[in-house]
Structure 1
Amino acid sequence: MELKWTDTLDIAIELDEAHPDVDPQYIRFTDLHRWVTELEGFNDDPERSNEKILEAIQMTWIEEKD
């Protein structure tokens, strides 16, 4: 599966599987950005990310955890 920054749900699921012990509520955006770009299947420009996109991914990940 090819992931883009706009695939927030798929990214959140992949992050939860890759980092099951992490509470996404307390993650730094710098770490989140790095983890997203390191996901297998991530194929987007790392520079296209911004705070709004990272926040959307974080909020989706928090919802998936619950």
Structure 2
Amino acid sequence: MGLRWSDSIDIAIELLEAHPDVDPQWVRFTDLHSWVCALDDFSDDPEKSSEGLLEAIQMAWIDEAN
């Protein structure tokens, strides 16, 4: 089974690899949602995202980028 919305750290690592030149602090949630759904390993329902889940992914991505 692939990545799910709750896999914030794993998603953050994948996003860091997919978008190495992006500063995750400034990513809009609409873009973040699209980028997560576009990950090869992502297999969760796109409709199950929430602002809290996206924020957790963004914070994990910021941590991984630093």
Place the TM-score, normalised by the shorter chain, in its bin.
over 0.9
Identity over aligned residues, as a percent? 67
Shift >3 Å, 4+ stretches:
none
Task: Give the TM-score, by structure 1 length.
Answer: 0.97
- Unpaired runs of 5+ in structure 2? none
Aligned CA-pair RMSD: 0.8
- 1:56 paired residue number: 56
- 2:34 paired residue number: 34
> Structure 2 counterpart of 1:33, which letter?
H
- Unpaired runs of 5+ in structure 1? none
2:22 aligned with 1:22, yes or no?
Answer: yes
Alignment coverage as a number of residue pairs: 66
Task: Give the TM-score, by structure 2 length.
Answer: 0.97
- 1:5 paired residue number: 5
